[in-house]
Amino acid sequence: MLLRKGLPNLSWDFLTGLPSEIEEGGGIGPALFNSFYILFLSLAISIPLGMAAGIYLAEFAPDNRFIAFIRICVEGLSSVPSIIFGLFGISLFVDIFHLDLTILGGAVSLAFLNLPMLTRVTEESLRSVPTELKNASFALGSTHLQTIRTVLIPVALNGIITGICLTAGRAFGESAVIILTAGVTTSGELWDFNLLSPGETLAVHLWYVQSEAIVPDAGDIAQKATAVLIMIVLAINLVFRVPLWMKARRMKG
């Protein structure tokens, strides 16, 4: 239903146009760009860290109380409401670093939001790899790192990618964190790579036009923006999935 209302009215101008505060016909260009830019930055921070933490917890961490405590913390963090991460982002970037609302702050806060989830997913996927495969690799004289690289990660990749899709989708649609840390305005330019610009994303723009904006066609913009948002989340899933499907088909042979 959301798609039916929004999709037919989409136009290139809408996708790339600058938003308007007062008149009709504003676009979502900068917000769309910021969405991708912030998503990319946050994933670039959280995927390596999250995977490293997950690999450590699954393969190297000793079995003691401290690690059990860490695990509970990770689990707890992954269920903390996102707005808390937003508040954390404000106090870190605005109060301590005096940076104002920036793309950098948004991306880092979003990365914090994603981290626990990615860590959990990586750890669980690695743990679900059959011990027989690990043993097979060890019995051929591989080191622990070689086994992780050549057997565990390839076999667990499906689960890890699923986790990345879920987090990427959630991060793309995330509004609370971004409102607080990257703001509800853009710099007004379409291609603005400056990390210190304000960085309103598509989801935030959606919230903004629905609740605060005074443009006469706010409802129309919201519908179209919604359609775009849904399509992109679907597309993110497809882009990550297709190579895996192809690989799985080959391996069933």
Partner 1 sequence: MQATALIEINKLDLFYGAFQALKQVSLEIPQRAITAFIGPSGCGKSTLLRTLNRMNDMIPGARVEGSIEIGGTDIYGGDVHVETLRKKVGMVFQQPNPFPKSIYDNVAYGPRLHGITKRRELDEIVENSLRSAALWNEVKDHLKRSALSLSGGQQQRLCIARALAVGPDVLLMDEATSALDPISTIKIEELAQELKDRYTIVMVTHNMHQAARVSHQTVFFLNGEVVEYSATEKLFSDPSDQRTEDYISGRFG
Which positions lie near partner 1, rule CB under 8 A? 63, 130, 132-133, 135-143, 146, 150-151, 154-155, 250-253
Closest to partner 1 by CB, 61 vs 90, is 61
The pair of structure tokens assigned to 37 is: 């830019």
Helix ranges, the chain (H)? 2-6, 12-16, 29-55, 65-78, 82-89, 103-127, 131-139, 144-147, 153-173, 176-181, 202-211, 218-252
Neighbours of 214 (CB within 10 A): 8
Minimum Å distance from CB 61 to partner 1?
Answer: 13
> End-to-end alpha-carbon separation of the chain, Å?
40
Q: CB-wise, 44 or 136, nearer to partner 1?
A: 136
Residue matched to tokens 């006469």: 216
Residue 209 neighbours by CB under 8 Å, 6+ apart: 215, 218, 221, 222, 225
Q: How far is the CB of 186 from partner 1 (least distance, A)?
A: 46
* Nearer residue to partner 1 within complex by CB, 63 or 95: 63
Nearest to partner 1 of 36, 138 (CB atom): 138
How many angstroms separate the CA atoms of 212 and 110, rounded?
23
Minimal distance, residue 154 CB to partner 1, in Å? 8
CB nearer to partner 1: give 64 or 79. Answer: 64
Q: CB 65 → partner 1: shortest distance, Å?
A: 16
Q: What span, in angstroms and rounded, lies between the C-alpha atoms of 180 and 120?
A: 26
Distance in Å, CB of 126 to partner 1, minimum = 15
Tokens of 216: 């006469």
